[in-house]
Amino acid sequence: MQNQQTRQLTNGAMMAAVFTVLLAISVYVPVLSIVSTLILALPVAWYSAKYPWKASALFASVCLVLSFIIGGLLSVPLALIHVPLGLAIGISIYYKKSKLFMFMGASIVLLVSLMIQYVASIALFGINVLEEFSAMFDQSYEQTGAMMERFGASETSMEEYNELVAQLQFSFETMLPVLLVLGVFMSVWVLLLILLPILKRLGIAAPKFPPFRSMKLPKSVLWYYLIVLLVSLLSEFEPGTMAYMIFINATVLLQFLLFLQGISFYHFYIHQEGWPKWVTVLVTILALPLQSFTSIVGIVDLGFDIRGWVKRAHEFKGK
């Protein structure tokens, strides 16, 4: 028992030192900070994967305190992103949760962390990141407009430019919630692709993502999409209202999920045919400009289980 506690303290001190070094590089070294930031959650994830949640939570708290000591307020936002993320990943591994549970849990933790930091920045420092970004956008827009006027742009061109900029700004403000959610989920997915192989090399039995071709969304997603389409046909939402914002965000999110489902079917079919990997890459790239068609493929795949037909056809041919 004594040896186990000693080993736990030793591992904690070692991982805290690794976290401190990675954090210092992320804050003070410009080029290497790109790499160190991507693996900053690694020490917390490693420790949390080996020890229960109470010890892991204490270790995470120590890392947050160290981040303030090392980099002051400048490093705290970075630590508040990666420490809870590493904690969620490690605890999921320790308690043998599925890869989907880990992915969803880490994404929710990261989303909550970002929201807390956003509210805290307004309440404590009076800094609204979104307003600052909007001000930068307006400034860039004004500078571009002034440049166009200096080069002799006509009034018609300036009006079209102003309308385009206003539309882009309105679209961004309307779709901000879904853009934030998709950004968080994509970021967590990329970080898991980086961190989990490293954890395996360090002796942690991390779960493995199933192949993308096996991804199958629940059929409820299709019903949600049909409900949104029906509501859009029966109702008219005034732009700028809360109902309009909810409708647009729900539509974009569901279309994105069905788009992923369509790409997943492409991968599945290519694998069934035994075609080379470069075909998979080419088809995935071509799916981007063919987004509408790919979403339709995803709808058909969910609604009619065409994967089962493809499998039976290959079994019949003896493939």
Q: What residue type is assigned to position 22 of the chain?
A: L
Q: 230 near 122, Cβ under 8 Å?
A: no
CA dist., res. 246 & res. 237, Å (int): 10
Q: Are 52 and 67 in contact (CB under 8 A)?
A: no
The pLDDT of residue 42 is 92
Q: Where are the alpha helices (DSSP H) in 129-241?
A: 129-150, 155-174, 176-201, 220-234
Closest CA to 53 of 87, 15, 100: 87
Cα distance between residue 297 and residue 290, in whole Å: 11
Ranges 78-92, 151-165, 206-220, 295-309, most confident: 78-92
What percentage of the chain exceeds 90 in pLDDT?
12
Q: What pLDDT digit, counting tens, does each position of 14-71 carry?
A: 999 999 999 999 888 888 888 998 999 999 999 999 888 888 899 999 998 988 888 7
What is the mean pLDDT of the segment spanning 105-113?
Answer: 89
- Is residue 102 within 8 A of residue 206, CB to CB? The reply is no
| Alpha-carbon gap, residue 299 to 219, rounded angstroms | 9
CA triple 45-49-51, angle to 5 deg: 120
Q: What is the DSSP letter of 241?
A: S
User: Averaged over 233-248, what is the pLDDT?
Assistant: 76
Region 99-105: what's the mean pLDDT? 84
Query: Distance between CA 280 and CA 135 in Å, rounded?
Result: 42
The alpha-carbon radius of gyration of the chain (Å, integer) is: 24
What's the average model confidence in pLDDT over 292-309? 85
User: What pLDDT shows up at residue 318?
Assistant: 58
Rounded mean pLDDT of 268-277?
A: 84
- Is residue 304 pLDDT above 90, yes or no? no
Q: What pLDDT digit, counting tens, does each position of 86-96 carry?
A: 999 999 999 88
